[in-house]
Amino acid sequence: MNPLKVALLGCGTVGGAVLRLVEEQAADLTARVGRPVEVVGVAVRRPDRHPEVPAHLLTTDAMGLVTRDDVDLVVEVIGGIEPARSLLLAAFEAGKSVVSANKALLAEDGVALHAAAAKAGVDLYYEASVAGAIPLLRPLRESLAGDQIRRVVGIVNGTTNYILSRMAETGAGFSEALAEATELGYAEADPTADVDGFDAAAKGAILASLAFHSAVTAADVHREGISSVTATDVARAAEIGCTVKLLAICERVPGEEGDSVAVRVHPAMIPTSHPLAAVGGAFNAVFVEAEAAGQLMFYGQGAGGEPTASAVLGDLVAVARNRVAGAAGAGPSAYADLPARPIAETPTRYHVSLDVADVPGVLATVATEFARHEVSIATVRQDGHGDAATLVIVTHSAPDAALSATIAALREVPAVRGVTSVLRVEGLS
């Protein structure tokens, strides 16, 4: 049998694991696909840094590799926007199916990439782009295709989940927990993409696009990171039976003029009774709510070479089978074309901490500002210390714009010395 020939773009942690697993599982892959699968080229920037790869496979000419006549499938694990986008478009034009783990590119330009793949009659699969080894995208795209999904809520970044878990377990501050994560290899030398929420926002866009059959990009996602979360925030969350997690929340929101899609990434207090609260360390989990299926949860390792390579190989087998059958699989649909709902209109509960002067009438003054902006207060706790006090307020659900206006007004109140913390509270019911 003639082998299906694969071009591998990138040979870092994930690419190296893909190459090794293709070699180790050659017999099983042949049985599963119906033809042998063979990597015929590996594109890298610096071949001298990959002594473990046979020299005849290495090339710096990625464009030449993806357009080779004998290449059937392309696996892209280099990440970033360019040159990945140009390489994928060239692969489609040359009639090659693509497996990608590139969340940033798919979140920014997924619509154009899918259109190019459909025009060429080839596949674009990307299970590894969101949650590592966790089978998630195909269930959303295929298994739940006959249902209407209401909400997708996930812990989709292992670095931030490890940091917040350690803060809850040890009482450490953000900087200390980040340093530990870096030392153990859970955080990159530059952790910006993780701790500032960019990674989770890209994944949220991909999830929302599939779940709600609409074109959602990273620009449609409201994003906040975890660098401002303090040990005090985590401790106060515990006091009300909650823990703090960085969540990607994708919701289909009904409205008078039709449904819309709200997608946001931010730290939030969630009840310790919710299954997502128990997801610790660098693990990921995604909670799906659908009309007929009810509540579903997907849990597992969301990053790392071998877990991510497992998802890549799953996609590789799928597109290889389609290639053998002479067909392409069904791509995602965007028929619903729901508009993105701005964060200003999205209602949430809030946990607000204020440093105030310990003087008569300060609580009434603060409560007046909340009432003036139509933000209803659920609970208030006041702790005094010397001539100052701390007010901890939990609100009922209110639009983000109303809460933001309230906070801006409170900063101008003479008796309010500082707004020390504002965190959303998600019931996840």
Q: Annotation-wise, does 146 bind a ligand? A: no
What tokens were used for 95? 């009639």
Is 5 catalytic? The answer is: no
Cβ contacts of residue 258 below 8 Å, gap of 6+? 338
Please report the beta strands in 203-241, taking only residues with DSSP state E, as ranges in sequence order.
222-223
Burial class (CB within 10 angstroms; exposed 0-12, middle 13-18, buried 19+) of 240: middle
In the three-class reduction of DSSP (H, G, I as helix; E, B as strand; rest coil), residue 355 is classed as strand
Q: Annotation-wise, does 11 bind a ligand? A: yes
Q: Annotation-wise, does 13 bind a ligand? A: yes
With beta carbons less than 8 A apart as the criterion, state whether 328 and 322 touch: yes
Q: Annotation-wise, does 154 bind a ligand? A: no
Q: Annotation-wise, does 15 bind a ligand? A: yes
Q: Annotation-wise, does 132 bind a ligand? A: no
Q: Annotation-wise, does 9 bind a ligand? A: yes
In angstroms, rounded to a whole number, what is the distance separating the alpha carbons of residues 269 and 32?
44
Q: Annotation-wise, does 169 bind a ligand? A: no
What tokens were used for 285? 């989990």
Q: Annotation-wise, does 24 bind a ligand? A: no
In angstroms, rounded to a whole number, what is the distance separating the alpha carbons of residues 229 and 225?
9
In angstroms, rounded to a whole number, what is the distance separating the alpha carbons of residues 3 and 39?
9
What tokens were used for 162? 């490890």
Catalytic residue among 5, 96, 203, 245: 203
Q: Annotation-wise, does 182 bind a ligand? A: no
With beta carbons less than 8 A apart as the criterion, state whether 271 and 283 touch: no
Burial class (CB within 10 angstroms; exposed 0-12, middle 13-18, buried 19+) of 262: buried
In the three-class reduction of DSSP (H, G, I as helix; E, B as strand; rest coil), residue 152 is classed as strand
Burial class (CB within 10 angstroms; exposed 0-12, middle 13-18, buried 19+) of 295: exposed
Q: How many CB atoms lie within 10 A of CB 345?
A: 14
Active-site positions read: 203
| Binding-site residues for NADPH | 103
Binding residues for NADP(+) are: 9-16
Binding-site residues, in ranges, read 9-16, 103, 188
Please state the residue numbers annotated as binding site for L-homoserine: 188
